[in-house]
Amino acid sequence: MPEFAPAAYSIPLFVSALALTALAVFHAVSMWRQCRRLPLGDIMWSVFYVALLLVVGIFCLLGGIDAEAGILDLGAYAVALFLCGTITLMRNRISDGMAELPIKLRAALRAVAIVCVIAFVSIVSAWMIDYVWLDTSGSIQLQYFAVTVLLFALASVALYFLGQRGGALVTFVPLCAVGFGIAQYFVVMFKGTPIMPTDLLSLKTAGAVASGYNYVLTPKMVVALCATAVCACSLSLIRPNYRSFSRRTRAITAGASTLVGVVLLVALGGLFNTVKLEDAIEFEYDRWMPITTYQTLGFAPAFIEVAQDLKIPEPEGYDKQQTAVLLDQLVEEFDSTMGVASERLAAEAQFSDIKPTVIAVMNETFSDMSIYEAVREAGYGGPQFYSSLEGTLQRGTLMVSVVGGGTANSEFEFLTGNSMAFIGTGKYPYQLYDLSESDSLVKQFKQLGYGTVAMHPQSAVNWKRSSVYEQLGFDRFLSIEDFESAPVYHSGATDASTYDKILELLEQDAAPQFIFDVTMQNHSGYGEGSVPAEDVVGLDVAGVDDPAALSELGVYLACINRSDQDLAYFIEKLKGVDRPVALVFFGDHQPGLAGTLADSLYADAAQLDREFKKHESTYMVWTNYEVAGTGFGQVRTTSSSQLAAQVLYALGAPLTDRQKADLVLGQSVGAINLLGYIGADGLRYELGTDSPYRETIAQMQAIQYLRFTEKLGQ
């Protein structure tokens, strides 16, 4: 059988689209010649099928079709959609034939047809949504599949009545199923995580970064789109039958149908708010590895379980007054111990005198992949300048709550001191909450008389930063418009261009400033050609057999090397600045390919250990002046929610009561993230399990609830 270029696959699709268009035109002309009214629906259904043909055809034309799909597969798809369109255009003849039957028989057949079609569409939609993205969709247990079918059936019935007992609106069910299935496929492939409810609140952010990925239609997607067309064809045959009714009867029937549809939708909303799906199906949602829940239950039930878990849970046995007393006690303990240490007192006096500018750089996807022994053994020693920089005040491993994406949550933890461990999986506070009343590092510096500036060389709407930064207290926000002429590397403006902007701010204002820089250069994906070929780091990592993963690793390491060079440039510039400056530099998370590395290289390790490995980033604190006191230069594992308090303590800056309490508790729990925590004994513990530090964790959660959640008005 001859081989064809992917572009040739589009030929049967475009031919079928053209033929269906011609058939629709012929149908319209025939109706006109017969002096019959042409239903708008006939044209709209034809447009729907033509659109499905053109979408796949354009992907083929652009080479965006998986190699496993052959021209015969695409030809079959073209024929199937042409037949669906033809059947839909013949529905008038079917209706005319039904009209010849006795009224009771006609009504009975219509009722049976409606039930069968809705059942068929619900089952096919439930199958499609997981078939597209999940390799083992057939392994989903029948009771969980039945839950998905039931949910789609209820939605279909509601839309049936809202659509005046026609099938047009019900088409949204298979369309949403195939749409979410395809989106889930790409999200899992690119980020290693499933679609979460809060992702729907960040569609602008997703759209802004989506251009960095390559999209290829798989054979499964083509099959699912074909199934969508078959569902639409079946639904097109369900038509409102009001023509024989009087105007008054039509109005009453339409009103009653709308009312029933609204009642059903309200009932569905009520079920969501009153029935916890997790309890109803007796399945515990995996809060730190949610993709396993999606793989077990299927997309729809898992998505609902996560959505029902969005509210921040109140700590068990929480008492507001007792927590306030606890906070006071911890503050007293700090004031009598850590607060009177000689190093701290010396640093306090110095800080009050010099008011150093504080620069925090959250470097996009910056991490040290040499933590993976096999990567190190393959010849990669980590970012050279960063690793060898001398004179750091503090540095070490940074435990974060995200991997492969979710930058805003690392940002949130650092700027507010709140841990995602006590907020929950799948939540993005930037998207969910009004942070105007929340304490923040920004507001803290403003109270000290600092100017506050945030910068990110991307769209200001990403993660709602344009409004969130204002809520957190920033005076200014420099976004993509302020970097229009900046040099670009990989995914955006270079790190160095943001550093130049910081240096410019320092030159413009001699007063102390707090500057927060969120870089963009290293953002995923890491496809071939996204960096110069000579920059790619070629490694043969023992234990990693996936060529695509190794290719991505090479591109990613090229980005890190470039960031390392830019950091060296920035440090050298800061050394020459005639004012005291403290630099806090940290990576927000590891790239999504960390999942492949950890799972391949540590297949025999406990799942918790693998997850901790993936959620390990790095940080360092450096100053261009000598901080008073001598006891602060250290290597320490911490977390993004605890970092700011530790930096302020080391610099001698004033601390809030919350930060003082966190520093005291941090002596027992040195790092915490969404997965678990590291105790003073150096061991890792999963959240919710018994440990010597269970009481400390409970205290941390209660204080965060008091100082953060209570202010949200939940």
Predicted confidence (pLDDT) per residue in 106-122, tens digit: 778 888 989 999 999 99
What DSSP string describes 19-59? Answer: HHHHHHHHHHHHHHHTT----HHHHHHHHHHHHHHHHHHHH
Who has greater pLDDT, 352 or 10?
A: 352
In a domain, 100, yes or no: no
In a domain, 131, yes or no: yes
> Number of helices (H) and strands (E), helices first, in the chain?
29, 14
In a domain, 384, yes or no: yes
pLDDT digits (tens, 9 = 90+) for 82-108: 999 999 888 877 766 666 778 788 778
Confidence label for 71 from pLDDT (cuts 50, 70 and 90): confident
What is the predicted pLDDT for the residue at 207? Answer: 65
Average pLDDT estimate for 589-605: 93
Lowest mean pLDDT of 26-35, 411-420, 438-447, name the range: 26-35
d(CA 643, CA 656): 14
Which residues fall within 8 angstroms of residue 320, CB to CB, at 6 or more apart? Answer: 706, 710
Same domain, 494 and 642: yes
Same domain, 351 and 235: no
Query: Does position 699 have pLDDT exceeding 60, yes or no?
Result: yes
Average pLDDT estimate for 180-190: 89
Average pLDDT estimate for 290-305: 89
Cβ atoms within 10 A of the Cβ of 542, count? Answer: 13
Which range of 81-95, 129-143, 246-260, 399-413 scores highest in mean pLDDT? It is: 399-413
pLDDT digits (tens, 9 = 90+) for 456-493: 999 888 888 988 999 999 999 999 999 999 999 999 99
d(CA 549, CA 98): 59
* Beta-sheet pairing, 616-623 with 451-455: unpaired
3-state helix, strand, coil in the chain (%, to 5): 60, 10, 30
Token pair of 79, please? 């024929």
Confidence label for 247 from pLDDT (cuts 50, 70 and 90): confident
In a domain, 101, yes or no: no
Q: What is the model's pTM?
A: 0.74
Average pLDDT estimate for 133-155: 89
Domain boundary pick from 32, 54, 89: 89
Of 178, 145, 171, give the one whose Cα is nearest residue 156.
Answer: 171
pLDDT digits (tens, 9 = 90+) for 634-658: 899 999 999 999 999 999 999 999 9
Confidence label for 1 from pLDDT (cuts 50, 70 and 90): very low
- Contact by Cβ (8 Å): 177, 126: yes
Who has greater pLDDT, 129 or 38?
A: 129
Average pLDDT estimate for 279-293: 76
Domain boundary pick from 60, 89, 118: 89
In a domain, 682, yes or no: no
Query: Does position 288 have pLDDT exceeding 60, yes or no?
Result: no
Of 137, 225, 113, 132, give the one whose Cα is nearest residue 174.
Answer: 225
d(CA 624, CA 506): 14
Of 82, 85, 12, 14, give the one whose Cα is nearest residue 44.
Answer: 85
Cβ atoms within 10 A of the Cβ of 378, count? Answer: 19
Total number of domains constituting the chain: 3
pLDDT digits (tens, 9 = 90+) for 534-559: 999 999 999 999 999 999 999 999 99
d(CA 1, CA 17): 26
In a domain, 374, yes or no: yes
Measured distance between the N- and C-terminal CA atoms of the chain, rounded to whole angstroms: 65
Token pair of 706, please? 């008091």
Same domain, 124 and 40: no
Of 311, 406, 307, give the one whose Cα is nearest residue 615.
Answer: 406
Same domain, 85 and 138: no
Same domain, 434 and 526: yes
Q: Provide the residue range defining the domain that includes 6.
A: 1-89
Query: Does position 271 have pLDDT exceeding 90, yes or no?
Result: no
Who has greater pLDDT, 174 or 196?
A: 174
Token pair of 224, please? 């699912």
What is the predicted pLDDT for the residue at 467? Answer: 87
Same domain, 37 and 143: no
In a domain, 514, yes or no: yes
What DSSP string describes 513-560? Answer: EEEEEE--TT-S---TTSS-GGG------TT---HHHHHHHHHHHHHH
In a domain, 362, yes or no: yes
Q: What percent of the chain has pLDDT over 90?
A: 69
C-alpha R_g of the chain: 30
Same domain, 302 and 355: no
Same domain, 258 and 355: no
d(CA 585, CA 622): 8
Domain boundary pick from 264, 286, 309: 309
What is the predicted pLDDT for the residue at 204? Answer: 62
Same domain, 402 and 432: yes
Same domain, 275 and 367: no
- Contact by Cβ (8 Å): 426, 290: yes
Mean of the per-residue pLDDT values for the chain? 90
What Å distances lie between residue 343 and 348, 403, 544, 635, CA to CA?
A: 9, 36, 47, 17
Confidence label for 192 from pLDDT (cuts 50, 70 and 90): confident
Same domain, 636 and 512: yes
Same domain, 511 and 435: yes
